[in-house]
Structure 1
Amino acid sequence: MLDEKLKNCFDEMVVYKDLKKSNFFNSLSLPSFMRDWILKKFEDESGFFSVDEVTNFVHTYLPRREDWDSIKNRIVKENQHVKFLAKISIDINIQTGKVSFNLPDFGLSNKFTIIEDDVWQKYKDDLIHGETWGMVELGYLSPDNFDWSFEFDTNKSKAKDGKSGKISLLSFKTFCPYKIDLEYFKDVRKEFTVDEWLNVILGAVDYNSKGYKNEEEKLTMITRLLPFVEKRLNLIELAPKGTGKSYLFGRVSRYGWLSSGGVMSRAKMFYDQTRHTEGLIATNDFVTLDEVQTISFSDVDEMRAALKGYLESGIYTVGNHEGRSDAGMILCGNISKEIMDADGYSNMFTELPSVFHESALIERFHGFIKGWNIPRMNDDLKVCGWALNSEYFCSIMHELRNDSSYRAIVDELVEVPYAADTRDTEAVKRIATAYLKLLFPNVRSSKDISVREFKRYCLDRARKMRDTIIYQLGLLDIEYHGKNLPQFSIREEKNENN
């Protein structure tokens, strides 16, 4: 039985999720990674938890943004030490050597904060790896107690005597209460069949495998996870309404960002010259533009140029600032029944914002997800049973992004035909690598996977995803009309051994 195998193999990383029968967590508006962390904290061995205990914990330690003024009053005016769960990033001042922090979800910038040296030395190992979640304890350092001998920054927050108070970080406890053992995760994959592993992945991201009619529906669904495991993988998905795009990209992983509708600027996406702050691309594993038809851009030409440069090389330049990132870009939009029925053989990009009406930009997206192969969300698709902790699973996927051994295996296996287009080759290999990481993390060399499985689950699916992009380019631009995808295959020497 899969439940028992899952618990035996992953032990404490398994939680009981009941999203089909209970709307309790929906009412709390928690992302999956936060919900599973709380479940793990309060569930007993049978999966039971006290609703009152969980509710009290959430109200105490998970404040909303609108609670920030009340929190500031407690810290600054009432001189209390306040603890709560928050996303935090640090900033080290090169001139002064002082360390400060940001709480982006509450609008608290490093101008108004400080981490004193003794606190920094104690918690720096947990804080130094970029934006992270954890239990912060905050207090107030009044102007009289603050050492201004190293303070060179002049800003409006200072009092008339040239000094101002600071919110101080007193302690920090990392959100992740366990160490990620990536090698164990890779090894334990051997205990599951491909079908079982598909079900494990679906449960980890809150879906019930029994709600899907066939393997193709399952595979299309988990294709959305490819940018979670592979750096700078850029995808386009068009799907009917209600297939869970927003949920998966916006509520499951703490390493990504979902933007729905509204105005998007180059400053928000890449770099803000006025504030000297990095944008979404620099601080996330992936950025998803959801309901892309409703998104407008403050300067279309400016954004198109920035996107083309970044999608090609991972480098973006704004003014005198040059940045690098490994974030993938995903475009998600809804699709009409007429276009859906054509199965990708009509012009699907006509309703995209004008910024994407250029073949040179679209070509830089590696693959297309046919979201109409994913069933509309219903209660039977909601997980109900033992499943991998979403926070743990997403942390594993985040770590897999840095493992280049899978790409080396793909390079060894895939035969690239003569004069193949470089962008097509890179797209197919990058998608195939992501599938290999997601479905066969146990593979350490080309000998660890059969030709049949690699071709079926990695190479063929990568080719089809890229082929749709090429076909759509032909409808968008006469220059691409009639272009065919190179005939990638498995190297002969590997074929002979399998």
Structure 2
Amino acid sequence: MKILDKKLNEFFGGKVVRKDLTKLVKGDAIVPIYVLEYLLGQYCATDDEETITQGVETVKSILAKHFVHRDEAQIIKSTVREKGSHRIIDKVSVRLNDRKDQYEATFANLGLSKVPIADDIIREHQKLLSSGVWCILTLAYISTDERDSLPWVIESLKPIQIASGDLDEYKEGRKQFTKEEWIDILLQTMGLNPDEFTFRSKLLQLTRLVPFVENNYNLIELGPKGTGKSHIFSELSPHGMLISGGEVSKAKLFVNNSSGEIGLVGYWDVVAYDEFAGKTKTTDRGLVDIMKNYMANKSFSRGTQVYGASASMVFVGNTDHSVPYMLRHSNLFDALPKDYYDTAFLDRIHAYLPGWEVQKLCNDMFTSDYGFIVDYLAEILKEQRKEDRTNEYNQFFELSDSITTRDKTAIIKTYAGLSKVIFPDGNIAETDAKELLDFAIECRKRVKQQLQKMDETFEAVDFSYINRKTGKKVSIETLEVIEYLNDEQKDILLSNSAENTDNSKVEKSKIKTLSNGQRIILDNQTGISYENLFGDYLAGANSITLIDPYIRLPYQLRNFMEFAKLLSEKKNKENELRLHLITNNNEDFIEGAREAFSQITYSLETIGIIFTYEFDENIHDRSIKIDNGWKIVLGRGLDIWQKTGGWYDINEYIQEKRLCKACEVTFIYDEG
């Protein structure tokens, strides 16, 4: 067991579960993860292997005997009739039959409807009146001769969710973990392997939790297929409802005028719209108008009454074009249906998550380590909705006066939500607050930039802030603008002052002459290659020393060969170039490295590069030393990219298409 898993079990014993167990027990049951983990939490919330094995078998048995599969509904009905009563797991929704003055339940998988249910159960669990809740219940069969009377009786019912979570205990436990550990725990809770994600990529995933901790938070995420945009909203929490964008109506979402029943926003903390994008989709324009009012004012009117609600709104969908194409020919809202392609509606969006930065999910990205039982975390997040952290950033920073009230509200809600998720105890340092504020500003600026492209009446806004301690002004730019500025994906963007460590300024033109300076590369940035990063500095060199302690794994050797290829293109054709590598190694890899370097030596000799190498266990810094006087300090060595999808991923072959890891590259000229 990993150290972090042991630590998590130590401080949150009974509230965590091994995340690969859900696959072991799920079988062909079409049921949310929170239902499975509810059961696993009853029997497998431990690190004892024997108990886990027994618990998994118990949960499998419960699902086999009590979970209702649609194709086995008649068998379950027969079992209830023969036994008199039987415990089942099904999704139940309830409606009031005003003619009979009674509540009636409908079972999603069992296929039963109009089954009477006691008023007391409804008073205790009002969410049953919405679109359905997964429940464990005892269903009885009592034959009757009464006309129009059903034999089915609900004897007892319990929604599948933990009744409450102790927020104070949760906050106290958080103090035992570093920021990095806590973020990894949350990623594992979401079923993801944190080792496969950069800090920015982790932040993108955690922002999907903000609607669960912030009331009336409006989030949109558009991007390619297969990135798990809707997964969290259907699987993580019993307080979230995922609906198809095409199934939305005024009555379903807000209130049914004919019956007076409140819609989804009255019962759920989060209402998410799946497959929201699609230009050809038809939409009720009246629904859009009601949503605009609700998203701005937390209230809606139907008929003569005004209702208030706290549900957050999430919109997820697929983009039709690449980001450079949208930035050049349209905008980042390009894929939305016509009636939602409305600047007044989109201005209510608090944050736009760049779905194109989220990696497509593959097997390596899922974890088999421990995380919180998702139902436990869901209850904690619900409790946190009562807290107001929107002014927390004020102790460190002051937002620009030019930022409008709507922009400011959006920024501070995103900041507050992330702060609750990552720092639930409120113990946040200035550097950590800065990371969250920068990201929150970027998410809102992405919305505002597109609105300005769509409607010229939206004025430009200075998305900056002042550090109260230093008085330094920090301006924020979105990553896609940094990458594709002036539609030149290969532009070289250099810092031109110390302020640029905050990514506040970027050079907009290509470098014409070599100069000292520093290049800041951001998490998930694309458009970076060895050529446009430092290719000009290598031109005409005769001798180069590369110091990089990590040239051993296959992808690191690939990076090295790509570096050598660049050298072959930059050197004088008639001259040989000497390339010396100083690296580190250990017993597990050293023999393989010697063999690889031996083959590399013969290979590079054919293109005029004389390759030598040495192992030095004391090196740590990474750099390229060139005999023309330049030294390039590499923050991460040659390892500047995230993992690709392998042979069948075009990113494996085009450096500019790969997602980067955050790092710094410094150019120093030594005249001596």
| TM-score normalized by the length of structure 1 | 0.81
Query: Is 2:353 the counterpart of 1:349?
Result: no
> Between Structure 1 and Structure 2, how many residues are aligned?
463
Q: How has the CA–CA distance of structure 1 residues 89 and 442 changed in structure 2, closer, same or farther, with 3 Å as cutoff?
A: farther
**Contact 2:220/2:349 (CA < 8 Å) preserved in 1?**
yes
CA distance in 1: counterparts of 2:449 and 2:229, whole angstroms: 24
Q: Could you say which residue in structure 2 is the equivalent of 1:58?
A: 63
Q: Could you say which residue in structure 2 is the equivalent of 1:12?
A: 14
AA aligned to 2:252 is K
**Contact 1:91/1:110 (CA < 8 Å) preserved in 2?**
no
CA distance in 2: counterparts of 1:492 and 1:398, whole angstroms: 34
Q: Could you say which residue in structure 2 is the equivalent of 1:115?
A: 118
CA distance in 1: counterparts of 2:304 and 2:275, whole angstroms: 32
Give, in angstroms, the shift of residue 164 of structure 1. 3.8
Secondary structure (helix, strand or coil) at the match of 1:277 reads coil
AA aligned to 1:361 is F
**Contact 2:255/2:262 (CA < 8 Å) preserved in 1?**
yes
**Contact 2:402/2:462 (CA < 8 Å) preserved in 1?**
no
Query: Is 2:395 the counterpart of 1:409?
Result: no
Q: Could you say which residue in structure 2 is the equivalent of 1:185?
A: 170
Task: For CA contacts below 8 A with separation 6 or more, give which structure has more relative contact order.
Answer: 1
Query: Is 2:242 the counterpart of 1:258?
Result: yes
**Contact 1:32/1:251 (CA < 8 Å) preserved in 2?**
yes
CA distance in 1: counterparts of 2:21 and 2:423, whole angstroms: 28
CA distance in 2: counterparts of 1:349 and 1:422, whole angstroms: 22
- Aligned pair partner of 1:465 in 443, 461, 464: 443
- Greater alpha carbon shift after TM alignment, 270-279 vs 358-367: 270-279
Q: How has the CA–CA distance of structure 1 residues 94 and 335 changed in structure 2, closer, same or farther, with 3 Å as cutoff?
A: closer
Q: How has the CA–CA distance of structure 1 residues 37 and 305 changed in structure 2, closer, same or farther, with 3 Å as cutoff?
A: same
**Structure 2: stretches of 5+ with no match in the other structure:** 473-672
Give, in angstroms, the shift of residue 187 of structure 1. 1.4
The superposition leaves residues 340-375 of structure 1 with CA deviations (integer Å, 9 ceiling, x where unpaired) of: 677899501122101211100000011110122221
CA distance in 1: counterparts of 2:328 and 2:85, whole angstroms: 57
Following superposition of structure 1 onto structure 2, how do residues 368-407 of structure 1 map, counting pairs within 5 Å? 368-404=352-388, 406-407=389-390
Percent pairwise identity? 26
Give, in angstroms, the shift of residue 208 of structure 1. 0.8
Query: Is 2:460 the counterpart of 1:483?
Result: yes
**Contact 1:339/1:346 (CA < 8 Å) preserved in 2?**
no
The superposition leaves residues 87-140 of structure 1 with CA deviations (integer Å, 9 ceiling, x where unpaired) of: 5577899999x8746456469999641327xxx4xx789536767654222335
AA aligned to 1:262 is G
AA aligned to 1:36 is E
CA distance in 2: counterparts of 1:245 and 1:181, whole angstroms: 29
- Greater alpha carbon shift after TM alignment, 432-441 vs 57-66: 57-66
Give, in angstroms, the shift of residue 143 of structure 1. 7.1
The superposition leaves residues 413-458 of structure 1 with CA deviations (integer Å, 9 ceiling, x where unpaired) of: 6534446422111111111110110010011xxxx3222211112x
Secondary structure (helix, strand or coil) at the match of 1:191 reads coil
CA distance in 1: counterparts of 2:99 and 2:391, whole angstroms: 42
AA aligned to 1:175 is I
Q: Could you say which residue in structure 1 is the equivalent of 2:416?
A: 433
AA aligned to 2:85 is H
Query: Is 2:130 the counterpart of 1:127?
Result: no
Secondary structure (helix, strand or coil) at the match of 1:3 reads helix
AA aligned to 1:476 is M
Q: Could you say which residue in structure 2 is the equivalent of 1:150?
A: none
Q: Could you say which residue in structure 1 is the equivalent of 2:4?
A: 2
AA aligned to 2:89 is L
**Contact 1:413/1:494 (CA < 8 Å) preserved in 2?**
no
Q: Could you say which residue in structure 2 is the equivalent of 1:239?
A: 223
CA distance in 2: counterparts of 1:271 and 1:454, whole angstroms: 40
- Greater alpha carbon shift after TM alignment, 278-287 vs 484-493: 484-493
- Aligned pair partner of 1:84 in 63, 85, 88: 88
RMSD between superposed Cα atoms in Å: 3.6
CA distance in 2: counterparts of 1:9 and 1:70, whole angstroms: 44
**Contact 2:17/2:370 (CA < 8 Å) preserved in 1?**
yes
CA distance in 2: counterparts of 1:268 and 1:3, whole angstroms: 42
AA aligned to 1:28 is A
Give, in angstroms, the shift of residue 267 of structure 1. 2.0
Q: How has the CA–CA distance of structure 1 residues 181 and 361 changed in structure 2, closer, same or farther, with 3 Å as cutoff?
A: same
Give, in angstroms, the shift of residue 64 of structure 1. 3.6
Give, in angstroms, the shift of residue 411 of structure 1. 5.9
CA distance in 2: counterparts of 1:232 and 1:240, whole angstroms: 26
CA distance in 1: counterparts of 2:335 and 2:324, whole angstroms: 13
Q: Could you say which residue in structure 1 is the equivalent of 2:493?
A: none
Q: How has the CA–CA distance of structure 1 residues 128 and 362 changed in structure 2, closer, same or farther, with 3 Å as cutoff?
A: closer
Q: Could you say which residue in structure 2 is the equivalent of 1:154?
A: none
Q: How has the CA–CA distance of structure 1 residues 93 and 275 changed in structure 2, closer, same or farther, with 3 Å as cutoff?
A: closer
The superposition leaves residues 387-420 of structure 1 with CA deviations (integer Å, 9 ceiling, x where unpaired) of: 221221122112211223x235356665344464
**Contact 2:162/2:379 (CA < 8 Å) preserved in 1?**
no
Q: How has the CA–CA distance of structure 1 residues 234 and 376 changed in structure 2, closer, same or farther, with 3 Å as cutoff?
A: same
Give, in angstroms, the shift of residue 299 of structure 1. 4.9
AA aligned to 1:473 is L
Query: Is 2:191 the counterpart of 1:206?
Result: yes
Secondary structure (helix, strand or coil) at the match of 1:479 reads coil
Q: How has the CA–CA distance of structure 1 residues 74 and 325 changed in structure 2, closer, same or farther, with 3 Å as cutoff?
A: farther
Q: How has the CA–CA distance of structure 1 residues 425 and 261 changed in structure 2, closer, same or farther, with 3 Å as cutoff?
A: closer
**Contact 1:140/1:167 (CA < 8 Å) preserved in 2?**
yes
**Contact 1:231/1:401 (CA < 8 Å) preserved in 2?**
yes
**Contact 1:267/1:273 (CA < 8 Å) preserved in 2?**
yes
- Greater alpha carbon shift after TM alignment, 103-112 vs 268-277: 103-112
Give, in angstroms, the shift of residue 463 of structure 1. 0.5
Secondary structure (helix, strand or coil) at the match of 1:12 reads coil
Query: Is 2:42 the counterpart of 1:41?
Result: yes
CA distance in 1: counterparts of 2:326 and 2:341, whole angstroms: 20
The superposition leaves residues 282-319 of structure 1 with CA deviations (integer Å, 9 ceiling, x where unpaired) of: 22211222221249776532121111111111212222
CA distance in 2: counterparts of 1:238 and 1:407, whole angstroms: 26
| TM-score normalized by the length of structure 2 | 0.61
Q: Could you say which residue in structure 1 is the equivalent of 2:566?
A: none
Q: Could you say which residue in structure 2 is the equivalent of 1:455?
A: 434
Q: How has the CA–CA distance of structure 1 residues 104 and 233 changed in structure 2, closer, same or farther, with 3 Å as cutoff?
A: farther
Give, in angstroms, the shift of residue 181 of structure 1. 0.9
Q: Could you say which residue in structure 1 is the equivalent of 2:520?
A: none
- Aligned pair partner of 1:304 in 275, 281, 288: 288
Following superposition of structure 1 onto structure 2, how do residues 331-350 of structure 1 map, counting pairs within 5 Å? 331-336=315-320, 338-339=322-323, 347-350=331-334
Q: How has the CA–CA distance of structure 1 residues 345 and 368 changed in structure 2, closer, same or farther, with 3 Å as cutoff?
A: farther
**Contact 1:424/1:485 (CA < 8 Å) preserved in 2?**
no
